Amino acid sequence: MIVTMQGLNAVAANATVQNVLTGQRYERSPFTAGVGNLYCCGSAAGLTAELNVGGTSITPPTNVNTQNRYPIVPDDVLVGTWEVLEGRLIQVTVVNTTAGALSFFWRVDIEEADIQIG
């Protein structure tokens, strides 16, 4: 089973959004063992994104591409194939380093891992 979350966040000039997934249904992983993918695009240069899962940094702040549209899979992957356990918080932090408001388009897919326990 795969679950998908997708959205758009306006990021004010020189501002930080701590977690674009706040309030999303799968902000915490629904699977005992899962594999995730993060895709993103920005409306212009100057956005950075960082992924943390369960309090562990998966990627440092990374520049976001400037396609100005919702991400296309697999073209707009920021970080792919990261592991997540059930109930762990998935946090995508976005920083706008410019003097103008920018749009951050994102998509997170979480797939249940094909493992057997026991």
The answer, yes or no, to whether residue 116 has pLDDT greater than 90, is no
Q: Whole-angstrom Cα distance, residue 100 to residue 78?
A: 23
Q: Is 117 within the bounds of a domain?
A: no
Q: Is 7 within the bounds of a domain?
A: yes
Q: Is 118 within the bounds of a domain?
A: no
* 5-46 per-position pLDDT tens digit: 999 999 999 999 999 999 999 999 998 888 999 999 999 999
Strand pairing report for 47-53 and 56-63? antiparallel
Q: Is 28 within the bounds of a domain?
A: yes
Q: Is 54 within the bounds of a domain?
A: yes
Structure token pair of residue 70: 């919702």
Structure token pair of residue 90: 């998935």
* 20-29 per-position pLDDT tens digit: 999 999 999 9
Question: 3-state DSSP call for residue 109?
Answer: strand
The domain that contains 99 carries what CATH number? 2.60.120.510
The Cα diameter of the chain in Å comes to 54
Domain count, the chain: 1
